Amino acid sequence: MIDFKDKVVIVTGGSSGIGKEVAREFLRNGARITISGRNEIQLQQAAQELMMSGGEVLAVSGDVSNERDCIRLINETLNRYGRIDVLVNNAGISMRALFSEVNLDVIRQVMDINFWGTVYCTKYALPSLLKNKGVVVGISSIAGIKGLPARSGYSASKFAMHGFLEALRIENLYTGLHVLICYPGFTASNIRNTALNKEGKAQGESPRNEEKMMQPNEVARELVKAVAKRKRTLILTTQGKLTAWINKFFPGWLDRQVYKHLATEPDSPLK
């Protein structure tokens, strides 16, 4: 057990997948939790499920791409608990389409959720986080280390998140605020089912074998340990670690391997 007793943790995108498991793991270690999500019914179901295992959970529905919703998320958390110690920017959406074919509104939507959602939530949580020498977490992706074909908007949003959080970290070298960027690699989650196609519609079915991937509860355990140890970076899965290492030394070779790998997905736009 890691001691997060009386600490307050916000997890965006907390109604399913990695977000729900991160909330569960923090609860297991004594924290009080706020989860947010766009689907009110799914969010309330997740909150009830989490509370059954013990602990205090606040559910605040909203869309992180909406600045007002982010302000409300922070204010309701402060009204309930009086403080914020950890902000986990997990809410995200993916896309799968060639840039030459994609409607630009798809990329705007991905950027609004993945990048601006992180910016909004961090901005309004920052005063309390600074006061408590807290932690800002960004759930990025290997797509934030290596641009992935047919996922240009998603990769761009994760690279933007990386730059924003790295700058925030350096600005706060001497304030006590800690910043952790997590790169989960391919993880079983709902993000591929809800990924947008070139017209902006959910593709509805994952193109990958979810059962063979790292599971959300495994990501959650590693993430909570990394927060406790105040790590700067957390790269998960063997494939993710290899991608990050190879990209430093053999980027051209990796380009070809990434193309080949993603071209084998069912209904890949690269075919």
The overall longest dimension of the chain from CA atoms, in Å, is 53
Domain boundary assignment for the chain: 8-263
Q: Residue 252 has what pLDDT?
A: 97
**How many percent of the chain have pLDDT more than 70?**
94
How large is the C-alpha radius of gyration of the chain? Answer: 18
Q: Catalytic residue positions? A: 154
Q: Among all chains, which residue has been given the structure tokens 């690279």? A: 159
Q: Report pLDDT for 63.
A: 97
Render pLDDT for 40-81 as a digit per residue (tens, 0 to 9).
999 999 999 999 988 899 999 999 999 999 999 999 999 999
Residue partners of 170: CB distance under 8 A and separation at least 6: none
Tokens of 245: 């290492």
Query: What CATH number has the domain spanning 8-263?
Result: 3.40.50.720
Residue that the structure tokens 């991160």 belong to: 22
Along the 271 residues of the chain, how does pLDDT read in single tens digits? 678 999 999 999 999 999 999 999 999 999 999 999 999 999 999 999 999 988 899 999 999 999 999 999 999 999 999 999 999 999 999 999 999 999 999 999 999 999 999 999 999 999 999 999 999 999 999 999 999 999 999 999 999 999 999 999 999 999 999 999 999 977 766 665 678 998 888 876 655 555 667 899 999 999 999 999 999 999 998 889 999 999 999 999 999 999 999 999 888 988 7
pLDDT tens digits, 198-232: 888 887 665 555 566 789 999 999 999 999 999 99
Residues with Cβ within 8 Å of 164's Cβ and at least 6 positions away in sequence, in order, are 115, 118, 119, 138
Q: Tokens for 257?
A: 């391997």
Residue with tokens 């074998």: 209
With 0-12 / 13-18 / 19 or more C-beta atoms within 10 angstroms meaning exposed / middle / buried, residue 103 is middle
pTM of this structure? 0.93
| pLDDT given for residue 136 in this prediction | 98
Count Cβ atoms within 10 A of the Cβ of residue 166 and give its class: 0-12 exposed, 13-18 middle, 19 or more buried: middle
- Whole-angstrom Cα distance, residue 192 to residue 124? 29
